[in-house]
Chains A and B, each alone.
Chain A
Amino acid sequence: MTEAVTAVATRPALLARGIHRSYSMAHETIPVLEGLSLELTRGESVSVVGASGSGKTTMIHVLGLLDQPDTGSLAIDGEDVLAASGARRAVLRNRHLGFVFQFYHLVNELTALENVALPARIGGGWLPSAGDRSAWRDRSRDLLAKVGLSGRERHRPNQLSGGERQRVAIARALMNEPAVLFCDEPTGNLDPRTSRGVQDLLFEIGPESRAMLLVTHDESLARRCGRVLRLTEGKLVPADPETGGGL
């Protein structure tokens, strides 16, 4: 039992090798990722910086199974995912990956509590038991409390501020206890004060027992991660070669 736990802890949460992704535009092929490799382990936080258009979002989409690479290998929690079917990839996204987007991307028709519970609902199949539903509700409430939104459970996204929406999005991303948390410019749409609050929250609960991959332009935010990488010419390289990671 102890060995199994150790194996999970030491197994990379995400392992990408030689990922290529290019886009065809008219008669031209634009390479975006050219042999990108990355290894993330649980408890680790990694930030990726890079110029606009360098392919950071494409990288998150490919590593987050929202897009298919042209070539390369990718394993999530030890499972090779590139050969997996669409349905299996959806299951993997649901159970092993969490996303926090720049523009929150909450479902406007749902309350904060329902937004947070949505990943559990999606993973719950056609007819989840009453016990399951009750457990989701409790966990969603706990997560909302954790991100400081107790009492706002029944509020809809349009009744929340930008910072509050992002907190709901963070809670939602953590609902199914993912192995990897992808954050794509999580503070890019917030004012500095609110941004600091969200950053603190992210680092407080984000990498608890999971890997966190954070894409940002904000250097102060990037520096808070254990490793800082730069995406340049389609590859990830240490942002400061001398320190092997830090800026």
Chain B
Amino acid sequence: MYRFFLSFRFLRHHWLMTLIGSFFVGASLVILVVVMSVMDGFQSKLKETIAGSSADLTLTPRWPFDPVELSKAIVELVPGVTAAAPYYETITLARRAGRIDATREKMHYAAVFGIDPQREARINRFSEYLSLLDRRTGRRRTPSVRDVADPFRVADELERATGTIGVVLGVGLADDVGVEINRKIRIAIAEPAKDAAGGGSSKDNDNLSFKYLQVLVVGLYESGNSEVDRSCIFMDHAAFRGLFTEDVARSSVRCRLADPDGIDRAKAALTTVLDKLVIRSVPPGVVVEPWQQQIRPESWKDKNRSLVQAIESEKSMILVISFLIVVAGTSSIFAAQWLLVSDKIREIGILRALGADFNGVVSIFVLNGFLMGVLGSAGGTFGGLLVVRHIDVVHGWISWMAGRPVFDPTIYLFDRIPTLVDYAEVSRYAFAALACTLVASAIPAMRAGLMKPAEALHRD
């Protein structure tokens, strides 16, 4: 009991030392909480951007299948899948239609995606990304297409009557190609080469021929992921099937999961209903060989493995650095405790003379440091959460002091600094800081406990 009593008294009496010791622990914890919350926020936003233009799970069967039928079957049969959409993809070369200066304007690589806009809207943020980002504010503007529900519709009746296909272009690709909405582009369409007689397709699949087709840009797409935005062309899946043969395109089904992290569960569930999926999706009259009854599941993480790993390793590095700051912060408690013990040598002698044993003296100073740590950790956690909550105000101050915006929305394309507070993680930081303060105060406390009472009593 006297241990708590004296610890509190020393804390109160040496309030400035207590304040300084606690302040540095608190400040370091503020840094840790803010940095990790902003890091998590950025990560989450980045993942959202990547996953927003992709899907939780992409399934590519080896058997001949109808993607629309397979989409319906997957939603019905695979637990945890809330929506599924057909998905076709191929590569092409694109350039502006009309006369061009070939010395300056090049063909641009592009990926063409055939999607069902209604179903696509249920599996990712396709509809949202049809509204472009305002570079100044980072917010999204009004949609670039006339009708988000039917984004590929060609408004001009004459064009529609002549069968012109409407496409949505990635905003970066539109810039590269040099087109705007309601302008046409040419895309290269690969198809199996005709046989020598000019009749049917050649049986030799290695030979492809190309033709150019003019399509009308009816909208722009901006996910914020520049890799996607600089290479994507979206068109309706029916139009896609009409242009690209199975030889040159890949078809899959993309799914949204009830739990985005439940990818493994969904993969496992797939194998149990594989037979039914084959039966439901195989076109009439097609025989599926046993070796074809396979499906390749790929999560958005699998598709962006290197980026996800880079983000994770970056987070780990920042965590280590930030934690080192906390360790440095807790060294203030070590210093404060060391000074306190040096200042209290006579008192230590008195306490020993009055009957305090080694454990008693050690406990007083460990408790003292621990209480400082509790103050610092509580203050730091609260302060960190407060800063995260008002991060934009804090950012405004810092930008004002720096004389320039520290966080430029035109670069990051977020309208505000993204933050994500993981309270369990924050609690772990606080407890880790407390553990550090315990270690930091234990060393000076041991020094106090090991003092010989007779010497301590007569120390000047």
Interface residues of A (CB under 8 A from B): 57-58, 61, 64, 66-67, 86-87, 90-91, 93-95, 99, 101, 105-110, 118-119, 121-128, 172, 176
Contacts and interface: CB of A to CB of B under 8 A. Distances in A.
A121 B457 contact: no
Contacts of B354: 93-94, 99, 118-119, 122, 172
Contacts of A108: 13, 347
B349 A126 contact: no
A125 B355 CA distance: 11
B352 A90 contact: yes
A105 B347 CA distance: 7
Interface string B344-373: 001101111111111110000000000000
A172 B354 CA distance: 9
Contact of A64 (B350, B353, B357): B353
A148 B366 CA distance: 37
Which range contains the number of B residues in contact with the other chain? 20 to 34
B2 A124 contact: yes
B453 interface: yes
Interface string B9-27: 1101100000000000000
**Residue of A58, A64, A99, A105 with highest tally of chain B CB at under 10 A:** A105
Contacts of A119: 354-355
Given A61-B454, A128-B1, A122 B356 contact: yes
Contacts of A107: 6, 9, 347, 350-351
B370 to A, nearest CB: 16
B342 to A, nearest CB: 15
B457 A66 contact: yes
A68 to B, nearest CB: 9
Contact of B355 (A57, A101, A122, A127): A122
B10 A109 contact: yes
Contact of B454 (A67, A91, A121, A123): A67
Given A93-B354, A107-B351, A125-B1, 16 more contacts: A64-B353, A66-B352, A66-B353, A66-B457, A67-B454, A90-B352, A90-B358, A90-B360, A94-B355, A105-B349, A105-B350, A107-B9, A109-B6, A118-B2, A121-B2, A122-B356
B458 interface: yes
A76 to B, nearest CB: 13
A101 B458 CA distance: 10
A123 B1 contact: no
Given A66-B453, A67-B454, A123 B358 contact: no
Nearest to B363: A126
A121 B5 contact: yes
B265 interface: no
20 contacts: A57-B458, A66-B453, A66-B454, A66-B457, A67-B453, A87-B357, A90-B355, A91-B357, A94-B355, A99-B354, A105-B346, A105-B349, A107-B9, A107-B350, A109-B10, A109-B12, A119-B355, A121-B5, A122-B360, A124-B1
**Residue of A86, A93, A122 with highest tally of chain B CB at under 10 A:** A122
A222 B3 CA distance: 38
B355 A110 contact: no
Nearest to A89: B357
Given A66-B454, A105-B350, A105-B457, A123 B13 contact: no
Contacts of A66: 352-353, 453-454, 457
B355 A123 contact: yes
A87 B355 contact: no
Nearest to A176: B355
Given A105-B346, A107-B350, A121-B1, A67 B357 contact: no
Interface string B330-347: 000000000000000011
A109 B350 CA distance: 13
Contacts of B349: 105
Given A57-B458, A90-B356, A109-B10, A122 B452 contact: no
Nearest to A88: B357
A225 B202 CA distance: 128
A127 B1 contact: yes
A119 B269 CA distance: 71
Nearest to B354: A119
A86 B358 contact: yes
A45 B165 CA distance: 116
A126 B360 CA distance: 10
A61 B349 CA distance: 11
